[in-house]
Copies of this chain bind each other. A is one copy, B any other.
Amino acid sequence: MNGPDTVLHSLIAGAPLPGEAEQIRATDPALGRPTGPHFTALTPDQGSLAVEAAQQAFGPYRRVSPAARAGFLRGIAEGLEGHAEQIVAAAKTETGLPQTRLTGELARTANQLRLFSEVVTEGTHHGVRIEHALPQRTPLPRPDIRQRRVPVGPVLVFGASNFPLAFSVAGGDTASALAAGAPVVFKAHNAHPLTSYLVGLVITEAAALHHLPAGVFSLVYGRGADIGQALIRHPGIRAVGFTGSRSGGTALMAAAAARPCPIPVFAEMSSVNPIILLNSALTEDPAGLAQGFVTSLTGSSGQLCTAPGLLFVPSGEAGDAFLQEVAERLGGVAGTTMLTPGICASRVEREQALAQVEGVRPVGRGQDGLTENAPAPAVYATDADTYLCTPQLSEEIFGSVCLVVRWDRPDQLRQVVDELEGQLTASLHFAENGGEDVALASDLVGRLEEVVGRILVGGWPTGVDVGDAIVHGGPFPATSDGRSTSVGATAIERWLRPVAYQDVPDWLQPVEVRDGNPLGIRARRVDGRTGR
Residues of A within 8 A of B (CB): 58-59, 63, 104, 107, 122, 124, 127, 129-131, 139-140, 142-143, 145-147, 150, 152-153, 253-254, 257, 261-264, 422, 432, 441-442, 445-446, 449-450, 452-459, 463, 465, 467-471, 473, 475-477, 480-483, 485, 489-490, 496-505, 508, 510, 522-523, 525, 527-531
Q: Is the pair A130, B523 in contact by a Cβ cutoff of 8 Å?
A: no
Known: A441-B508, A500-B453, A503-B459. A147 touches B482 (CB 8 A): no
Chain B residues within an 8 Å CB radius of A104: 139
Chain B residues within an 8 Å CB radius of A463: 140
Q: Is the pair B470, A145 in contact by a Cβ cutoff of 8 Å?
A: yes
Q: Is the pair A500, B445 in contact by a Cβ cutoff of 8 Å?
A: no
Min CB–CB distance A55 → chain B (angstroms): 10
Q: How far is the CA of A442 from the CA of B458 in the complex (A)?
A: 55
Min CB–CB distance A66 → chain B (angstroms): 17
Q: How far is the CA of A26 from the CA of B452 in the complex (A)?
A: 44
Q: How far is the CA of A306 from the CA of B497 in the complex (A)?
A: 19
Q: Is the pair B455, A499 in contact by a Cβ cutoff of 8 Å?
A: yes
* Cβ contacts A to B, 23 pairs, < 8 Å: A104-B139, A131-B467, A131-B468, A143-B459, A145-B465, A145-B469, A150-B449, A261-B477, A264-B481, A264-B483, A445-B508, A449-B499, A449-B510, A453-B499, A454-B499, A455-B499, A455-B502, A456-B502, A471-B498, A471-B499, A483-B497, A523-B530, A531-B531
A470, A489, A531 — most chain B CB neighbours (10 Å):
A470
Chain B residues within an 8 Å CB radius of A482: 152, 497
Q: How far is the CA of A146 from the CA of B107 in the complex (A)?
A: 24
Min CB–CB distance A308 → chain B (angstroms): 14
Known: A129-B469, A147-B471, A483-B152. A504 touches B142 (CB 8 A): no
Chain B residues within an 8 Å CB radius of A140: 463, 465
Chain B residues within an 8 Å CB radius of A452: 499
Q: How far is the CA of A122 from the CA of B529 in the complex (A)?
A: 10
